[in-house]
Structure 1
Amino acid sequence: MNRVLAIGVVVALGGAVGSADEPPKAREKPKYEYREDHDPDGIGKFYMGREIAQVMGYGGIGWLERKERIKEEDPEKLMKALEVKAGAVVADVGAGSGYHTFMLAPLVGEKGKVIASDIQQEMLDAVTKKAKQLKVPNVETVKGTTTDPKLPAGGVDLILLVDVYHEFEFPFEMTEKMVAALKPGGRLVFVEFRSEDDKVLIKPVHKMTERQVLKEMAAFPELGHTKTVGTLPWQHVVIFSKKEAKK
């Protein structure tokens, strides 16, 4: 082997070893923007071109439990679309009054668990009270923060977000934590009122297009878009799965 070729081989091998020892690059965090001119139902904070909506407070719990919700959202059809398995650990993030929590509880069964996560203690108190009244033992409440839903790392099979993601003050940080909480193959499910449809009578900042959901989740390569269910009356169900770790 001549001297030039030998040097080239050493350099190539050295570079390969060096790159293998380099720590993985940190995830690039998209910047938030703040605007004074914004929708009155928003908080003036924008993420990837979308204004973040105001959070529905405990005073709106009656709206969450309204009878019209059955016609407007068809939650039974949503439950079927989720294909929840017995024994699963499911997190209802932004659970509110627990409307969907108590629909999920019988699906996961005695060996499963539903974690109701919310940032408002009043909402969690309402869930706890209802669980006692209905004698539902497999519901657990967790108080999250605006940046962390406080879910067990790598311990959740399904995270359900019903009409709530658009209200996250820190959507990037929340998603990062939720992805970490999913088991390999676990699913992250967005249920959002369709912004593409003018007939959906919901305030604009409280709706999202499928395209926007996909855009925001593109920051997380661990997630793969599995499918979008468009059979609900007013909402679409955008489903992502956490990819298996490479061996």
Structure 2
Amino acid sequence: MVRVSVTVSLAVTSLWLATAAAQAPQDAHDMHRLHDDPKAYIQALEDPARDAYQKPHEVMTALGVTTGEVIADIGSGSGYFTLRLAHHVGDTGHVYGVDVSPEMVRYLNERIRDAGLPNITTILARPDDPLLPRSVDRFLIVDVWHHIEDQAGYLAKIKARLKAGGQVVMIDFHKRDLPVGPPAAMKIAREDVVAQMETHGFRLVREHTFLPYQYFLVFGI
């Protein structure tokens, strides 16, 4: 199961960078508790300061999303990547914004309405199941995997909903002390993610190294 919290969502730990950009450095555990305030959490996720390390344009370029793809954004949060994905998949594609937080889903629904993007569907998921209604071409999981407790069970559900030739993209913080992200003890090391994925039948097909604090791994089956 995913650790129960108000928000287990896209880039759950990115709020530390946004907070640090506006204030003096705080203890990581104190900043982590800010995600219990949905308004502050959303503001942190969408703070322009996040772009400095998350490099969304470069990530989207590296993903090479094509028109017509169906993509699941696991832990979609405020829609930081969800809306970007929607513009790339076009009218013939679709993006599922998956989150366990009602507040995040409600906020993302408002953004979808205001942006006029009919190719996004939000899903209020269970902590242990993304509840996808159909198979997808790609899963995008950014700064979320370290929050999932039953990772083996979650991977089984992902695999069952991944189309032949599909991909699972994992972006998460390196397991060391960094100016952003959770405490090192909460992180999952890159090599452990690779070993775990290989154990469950996935193979590393590509790796990008341009992100300063995160690994960026692309897996296929």
Task: Return the TM-score normalized by structure 1.
Answer: 0.71
> Secondary structure of the equivalent of 1:191?
strand
Is the partner of 1:68 in helix, strand or coil?
A: helix
* Structure with a larger share of its residues in strand: 1
* 1:116/1:142 contact within 8 Å kept: yes
Runs of 4+ with >6 A deviation: none
- Which protein is richer in helix relative to its size? 2
Structure 1 spans left out of the alignment, 5+ residues = 1-52, 243-247
Instruction: Find the aligned partners of 1:168 and 1:57 in 2 and give their Cα distance.
Output: 18
Identity %: 32
Looking at structure 1, the residues matched to 82 and 133 of structure 2 have their Cα atoms a distance apart, in angstroms, of: 17
Residues 1:106 and 2:87 aligned together: yes
Residue equivalent to 1:145: 126
2:172 corresponds in structure 1 to 192
Write the mapping of 1:152-163 to structure 2, written as runs, cut at 5 A.
152-153=133-134, 155-163=135-143
How far apart are the structure 2 equivalents of 1:139 and 1:58?
25
- Mapping 1:197-212, distance limit 5 Å: 198-202=177-181, 203-212=183-192
User: Is the contact made by 1:157 and 1:187 (CA closer than 8 Å) also made in structure 2?
Assistant: yes
What's 1:125 paired with?
106
Q: How many residues align?
A: 187
211 and 200 in structure 1: CA distance in 2 versus 1, 3 angstrom threshold: farther
Secondary structure at 1:228 match in 2? strand
Q: Which has the higher contact order (CA 8 A, sep 6+)?
A: 2
Q: Which has the larger radius of gyration?
A: 1
With normalisation by structure 2, the TM-score equals 0.78
Contact 1:58 1:120 in 2 (8 A): no
CA RMSD of aligned residues (A): 2.0
**Given that residues 115 and 140 in structure 1 are in contact (C-alpha distance below 8 angstroms), is that contact kept between their aligned partners in structure 2?**
yes
Cα distance in 2 for partners of 1:234, 1:126 equals 27
CA contact (8 A) 1:58 1:123 kept: no
Q: Deviations over 1:156-185 (max 9, x none)?
A: 001000101111132221111011110011
The whole-number CA distance in structure 2 between the counterparts of 1:115 and 1:149 is 10
